[in-house]
Structure 1
Amino acid sequence: MQKYLKYIIPISIPLIVLLLPLSAFPFDGLTIIQQRVIAIFLLAALCWVFEPIPIYATSVVIIVLELLLVSNKGIYLFRLSEGQPHFGELLKYNEIMATFASPIIMLFLGGFFLAMAATKYRLDVNLARVLLKPFGSDPKFVMLGLMLITGIFSMFMSNTATTAMMLSILTPVIAVFGPKDPGRVAFALCIPVAANIGGIGTPIGTPPNAIALKYLVGDNYISFGEWMAFGVPFVVVMMALAWMLISFLYSADQKKIELSIKGKFLKTPKAIMVYVTFALTIILWLMGSSHGMNSYTVALIPVAIFSLTGIINKEDLKKISWDVLWLVSGGIALGLALDKTGLARLVVHSIPFDAFSPYAVLFGAAFLCLIMANFMSHTATANLLMPIMAALGTSMASLTPLGGEITLILVVTFAASLGMSLPISTPPNALAHATGHVQSSQMAKVGVVLGIVGVLLSFALVWLLHAVGHVG
C-alpha cells in the first residue's frame, strides 16, 4: 500500500480541491479559475515532492492542464460558465505556450551550448590543468584550487556536469589517500559543495537563478553583470568558509599529493572558434546592456555560431538537458497562472504579513526554502515559492526599507541553492556520494552549517547592496 501512496496522494488531493465549493476556501472573492489553479499548484507540489513521475514530466503536465482548464482555448465544457460571477479571467493560450520559449529558456539554452562546446573541445579540462598548477602539492591548497576551479566552471556549466568532470579528474588522486585518511572525504566532498555554491554566481549557473530573473523585471531588473557583482563576492566568501570547514573537519593525513591532468589546448579552427565565442559571450554578458543587447539576446549568439560552424551538430543537440528546460518552463507557467489569475496576490493579502516583522518574514521565507531545497529539487522549490514571494514582496510595505520584492526574491533564490545537506539534495551530492568516499552524515555536517551560514550571509550582502544603492 505504501508504494501506491506516492501516486494516490498527488492525484486525490487536487481532485478534492476541484470538487470543493468556493465557500470552503478561506479566501474572500476566490474564483473558479483560481480554484483550478490551486488544484494545479497542489498537483505540481505533490508530484515534485513524491516524484510519481519524472519532475520534468510534471512541468509538461502543468502546462497542458493550464491549457485545458484555465485558458481561452481550453476544453469547451470547462468554459461554459465564462462571464458568470465568480468564474474569473481565462488565461491566453499563447501566453501559456510561450513559456516553452521564454527568454529565460533561451538564456539557459545558450549556457548549454557553451558548456557542451567547452567539453567537446576539452576547454574545461585544459583550463583546469592550467589553473591548478599554482596550488602546489599540499593537499589543503590543492583542495582550495579544485574548489575554485569547480566554482568557476559551475557558474557557466551545469553543476552536475562540472561535478562529474571534476570527480573523474580526481579519481586517481583520491586513490592515493589511505583507506582511513580523512583526505578522501575532503576531496570527494569539496567538489559538490563548490559546484552548488559556484552556481549562485551567475544567472545561468543554476535554474533557481533563472527563475528569479523572471520576477526581477522593470524597476527591479538585474543584468548579467549586476548579478555577478553581488553573486561572485557571495560565492568567494562561501567558498572560503566551505574550504576552512572541510579542512578543519577532514584534514588529510597525507602531507603531499601530485595532481596529474594530461592534455593540451587544441589549435584546430573549430577549437579556436569555441575559445573566441566563449570569451566574447562572457564579455558581452558582463558589459550589461551598454551595447544595446540584454543577456537573453547575447545567449543566442553562441547558439547561432556553433550551429552554423558545425561545432554543435544534430547528434550533440540530442545531449542537451531538455528535461531542465522543460522543468524551468513548467515553473514559469505555474508562476504565470498564479500571477495572471490574481491567486498569488489573493493568498498574500489574506495573510496579515504586515503584522509581522519584515525580518521575521525574510528569515522565515529563506529558511522554509532552505529546508524544502534539501528534500526536493532546487528548481522545483524555486518554481513553487518564487511567484508567491514576488507577490508578497510587492504587497508588504514594511519590506520596502529593506529592499522590498528584490530582497525577498534574492535571499530565497540563494537559499534554494544552499540546500545541500543530503545525497538526495542535489545531483552533485548524489554523484559524490556514489563514489563511496562520503557518508550521508559527513555530507550533512558540512551542508547544514553552510546552508545556515549562507542564508545569514545572503541577508547581510543584499542589505549592504541595498544600502549603497546597487539593488532595490
Structure 2
Amino acid sequence: MGLFETLRFRVLPYWKTYILVLLPLILLPLPVIGQGKEARAGYVIIIMALYWMTEALPLAVTSLLPVVLFPLLGIMSTGKVCTAYMKETNMMFIGGLMVALTIEHCNLHKRIALRVLLLVGASPRWLMLGFMLTTMFLSMWISNTATTAMMVPIVEAVVQELFKDGDEEMKRDPNVRMVPDGMSTCSSNNTLEIDLDSSEGVSQNLEAVSIDSIADVGKSCQELTSPTDQRSYSSPTSEYKQTIRTCTLMSIAYASNIGGTGSLIGSSPQLALKGILDELYGSAPGLNFASWMAFNVPGMLINTFLAWIWLQCLFLGFKRTSADANAQAAVVKKLIRTKYEELGPMTFHELATLVLFILCVALWFFRDPQFITGWAEFVPAVEVDDATAVMTIVLLLFIIPAKPKFWNCHTGERNEGPSPALLEWKLVQDRLPWGIVLLLGGGFALSDASKASGLSSWLGDQLAVLSFLPPFAIMLIICIMTAAITEVASNTATANVLLPILAEMAVTIKVNPLFLMLPATVTCSYAFMLPVATPPNAIVFAAGKMNPVDMVKAGLLMNIVCVVVICLLMASFGSFIFGFDEFPDWALPQVKNATMTTLSQFSNCTSP
C-alpha cells in the first residue's frame, strides 16, 4: 500500500482523533515554559478554539473543558468556573428559546409566513422579497435553522406551481411532499422531502450543526439524483426553474442569517456579547434590547434589501414581466391562499401565544429604553434584567391552557379532562438545544478566565501596535477577519474567543469597547459563502442541489457588502446611539486595572 493509500484509508478517516490527542501534546510547552497564569489560560483557550473550529469533539462537550482544565491549572476555582454556565444571559437565552418553541408548536410562524406571502406580489422577484422579509422577521425571534427548514418546502411548492402548464396548473405534483413524521430526508424519487413542521426537529441543532452531518446530507441528496432527473434540467425551462429555485432558496438562507442580528435573542453571538459586557462593565455600556434593535434593525433591513438586489442581478436579471408570468403568478397566489386556508381559523393556542409574545417583546423593549423611564425603574433597590421578563412569560405559557374548557360544566358537555398548557415540559425537554446553553456558558468561562489570569490585558497590550491606524480601519480589519473565521467555525465559538480580546484591545487603543465588539458580534452571523458555514446554508444547499461555486460566488460579495454596511453604520449611526466620540468613563476602571497589573508584574520582575 502506497503513501497515498495509507493517508487516505488509515489516516484521514481518523483525523479528528489525531487532533484530539496530539493538539494538547504539541501545545504542552506553552504552559510548561511560559510563566504565570496567562500562558496556562492561553493553552486552554487555543485548544478550545481549535476543537471548536474542527469539531474534534462535539461543540457542547468542548465547552465543558474549562470545568476540568481551569481548576487543575490553577487559573480559577471549580465553583467560579461553574457559575459562568448559568448567568443571567443564559437564563434569558433559555427563556427566549421556550417562547420560540411555543410559537413553532402552535404553527403561528407558518401562519405569519403564509400571510406575508399573500400580501406581496406572486411574481418570482416579489415572491423572493416576500420570502426574505418573512424569514428575516421570524429569524429575529426563533432559531435560524427552524425558520429556514420551515420555509424550504413552501419555496419548493411555489416553484413547482410557477412552472406548470395548461390543464396541469391546478393539479399539484411538486417535488416536495408532506412527510407525516421526521425532519428531512432524500426520497427515492429524487426529491428532497421536508415536512412543513420540520423546524420542530432541526431547531434542536440551532447554530451547532455538525460539519460532517451537513456533508452527509448534501452527499446523500446528490447520490439519489437519477439520469432522468438530470435530463429534466437539460431544457431551457428546466434550467430556468433550477435557477429560480437556487436563487429563492439562497435568499431565505441569507435572510435567515441577516435576520438573526435584528434582536438581542436572534442569534447567540449577541447574547455572548451581552454576557461579556455585563461581566466587564455591568449595565454602563447601555447595551440592552431597545438599543440593540435601534442600531441593528436598520442595518438588517439594508443588508436584506441589498441581498435581494444582488441575487436578482446574479440569477434573474431585470427583464420585464410577460403575460405568461402574470398568469403563473396568479396560480401561485391561489396556491398560497389555499395553503393558508388549510390552517383554518386562528386557534386560542395561537392567539394566546401571539399575545404573550408581543407582551414579552414589550417587556424587553421597555425595561430600560433610555429615551423614557423603563418599567424596571419602578422596582427599587435591585436591578431587574431581561431574564426576569422572559421567565414571567414562560411561566404563563406553562399555566394558560391551550384549549380552555372552563365552560363545559355549565353547558352539560362531557369534560375529557384538563387541557394541556400552551407549552409543555416534555416538548422543552426534547427540543430545547441544551448544547447551545453549554456553548454560551463555556464562552463566559473563557472570558472570566482571560480576565482573572491577566491574559486579556496582555493580549490587549500586544495589539496596541495597531494604534497607529485609524479606529475605523481597525474595526474594518477585525470585521473582515471575523467574517473569514465564521465561515469555518461556529459563530458562537468565534464570538466567545474574540470578544474578550477586543474588549482589552479597545481599552488599550482608547476607543469605546462597543466600537470594536458590536460590529464583530454582528459579523459573526455574516457567513454566506460555504454550505458548512451555518445550518441555513446547509439546509438550502441540500434542498436545492446547488453547485458550491454558485454559493461561493454569491456569498463572497454578500460578505463584503454586509461588512462594509455594518462598519459604515458604526461610524455614523452607531455614534449617535452609543456615543463613540470619546473614551467612556465606564471603561476607565479597566484602564486602571490594566495599569496596576502591569506595575505589579514589573515590580515582581525587578525585585531581588
Cα offset for 1:191?
Answer: 0.8
Number of aligned positions between the proteins: 442
2:39 equivalent to 1:44: no
2:495 equivalent to 1:382: yes
Cα offset for 1:305?
Answer: 1.5
Aligned equivalents of 1:214 and 1:389: distance in 2?
A: 14
Cα offset for 1:469?
Answer: 4.5
Consecutive unaligned residues in structure 2, runs of 5 or more:
1-10, 164-236, 369-373, 377-383, 401-420, 581-608
Q: 2:288 matched to which residue of 1?
A: 223
Alignment TM-score, normalising by the size of structure 1: 0.88
- What does 1:109-148 align with in structure 2 at a 5 Å threshold? 109-148=94-133
* Stretch deviating more after TM superposition (171-180 or 105-114): 171-180
Q: 1:300 matched to which residue of 2?
A: 391
Q: 2:483 matched to which residue of 1?
A: 370
Cα offset for 1:163?
Answer: 0.3
User: What's the CA shift string for 1:205-232, capped at 9, x where partnerless?
Assistant: 1111111112334431311011000111
Q: 2:302 matched to which residue of 1?
A: 237
Q: 2:528 matched to which residue of 1?
A: 420
Q: 1:76 matched to which residue of 2?
A: none
Q: 1:311 matched to which residue of 2?
A: 422
- The equivalent position to 2:356 in structure 1, one of 261, 271, 277, is 277
SS at match of 1:2: helix
Q: 2:375 matched to which residue of 1?
A: 291
Are the aligned partners of 1:159 and 1:195 in contact in 2 as well (CA < 8 Å)? yes
Q: 2:257 matched to which residue of 1?
A: 196
Q: 1:210 matched to which residue of 2?
A: 271
SS at match of 2:19: helix
- What does 1:40-119 align with in structure 2 at a 5 Å threshold? 40-70=44-74, 90-119=75-104
SS at match of 1:156: coil
Question: How many percent of aligned residue pairs carry the same amino acid?
Answer: 28
SS at match of 2:563: helix
Rg bigger for which structure?
Answer: 2
Aligned equivalents of 2:101 and 2:467: distance in 1?
A: 47
Q: 1:80 matched to which residue of 2?
A: none
Aligned equivalents of 2:495 and 2:66: distance in 1?
A: 15
Cα offset for 1:267?
Answer: 4.7
Cα offset for 1:136?
Answer: 2.1
* Stretch deviating more after TM superposition (267-276 or 368-377): 267-276
- The equivalent position to 2:547 in structure 1, one of 418, 430, 439, is 439
2:514 equivalent to 1:406: yes
Are the aligned partners of 1:198 and 1:235 in contact in 2 as well (CA < 8 Å)? yes
User: What's the CA shift string for 1:257-310, capped at 9, x where partnerless?
Assistant: 315233446654443321211110011122132010432221212221222343
Aligned equivalents of 2:503 and 2:140: distance in 1?
A: 25
User: What's the CA shift string for 1:427-454, capped at 9, x where partnerless?
Assistant: 0000000113432111112211111111
SS at match of 1:374: coil
Q: 2:217 matched to which residue of 1?
A: none
- The equivalent position to 2:565 in structure 1, one of 426, 432, 457, is 457
Alignment TM-score, normalising by the size of structure 2: 0.69
Aligned equivalents of 1:52 and 1:191: distance in 2?
A: 30
- What amino acid is aligned across from residue 106 of structure 2 in structure 1? Y
- What amino acid is aligned across from residue 514 of structure 2 in structure 1? I
Aligned equivalents of 2:549 and 2:579: distance in 1?
A: 38
SS at match of 1:347: helix
2:509 equivalent to 1:396: yes
Are the aligned partners of 2:70 and 2:77 in contact in 1 as well (CA < 8 Å)? no
- The equivalent position to 1:150 in structure 2, one of 128, 135, 144, is 135
- The equivalent position to 2:467 in structure 1, one of 343, 354, 359, is 354
Are the aligned partners of 1:113 and 1:302 in contact in 2 as well (CA < 8 Å)? no
Distance 1:69 1:437, change over 3 A: same
- What amino acid is aligned across from residue 399 of structure 2 in structure 1? L
Are the aligned partners of 1:225 and 1:287 in contact in 2 as well (CA < 8 Å)? yes
Are the aligned partners of 1:220 and 1:471 in contact in 2 as well (CA < 8 Å)? no
Consecutive unaligned residues in structure 1, runs of 5 or more:
71-89
Cα offset for 1:17?
Answer: 3.3
Aligned equivalents of 1:268 and 1:135: distance in 2?
A: 25
Are the aligned partners of 2:291 and 2:577 in contact in 1 as well (CA < 8 Å)? no
2:434 equivalent to 1:430: no
2:17 equivalent to 1:7: yes
Aligned equivalents of 2:159 and 2:531: distance in 1?
A: 19
- What amino acid is aligned across from residue 367 of structure 2 in structure 1? G
Cα offset for 1:348?
Answer: 1.9
Cα offset for 1:343?
Answer: 0.5
SS at match of 1:430: helix
- What amino acid is aligned across from residue 328 of structure 1 in structure 2? L
Aligned equivalents of 1:271 and 1:366: distance in 2?
A: 40
Are the aligned partners of 1:212 and 1:410 in contact in 2 as well (CA < 8 Å)? yes
- What amino acid is aligned across from residue 116 of structure 1 in structure 2? L
SS at match of 1:65: helix
Cα offset for 1:10?
Answer: 4.3
